[in-house]
Amino acid sequence: MDAKQVEVKEEIPARRKLGASDAKQIAIGSSTVYVAKGKKLDVFDMKTAPLAEVVEKMLGPTGNLRAPTMRVGRTTVVGFSEETFDSVLG
18-64: per-residue pLDDT in tens? Answer: 999 999 999 999 999 999 998 899 999 999 999 999 999 999 999 99
- Identity of the residue numbered 81: S
Residue 18 lies in a domain: yes
* Per-residue confidence band for 13, with pLDDT thresholds at 50, 70 and 90: confident
pLDDT of residue 4: 58
What number of CA atoms fall less than 13 Å from residue 8's CA on the CB side? 8
What is the pTM (predicted TM-score) of this model? 0.87
6: in domain:
no
Q: Is residue 3 part of a domain?
A: no
Q: Is the pLDDT score of 11 beyond 70?
A: yes
Taking the C-alpha atoms of residue 24 and residue 59, their distance in angstroms, rounded to an integer, is: 10
- Could you tell me if residue 62 is inside a domain? yes
Domain of residue 64, residue span: 14-89
Residue 78 has a CB neighbour count (10 Å cut-off) of: 27
Domains contained in the chain, number:
1
Half-sphere exposure of 34 (CA within 13 A, CB side): 24
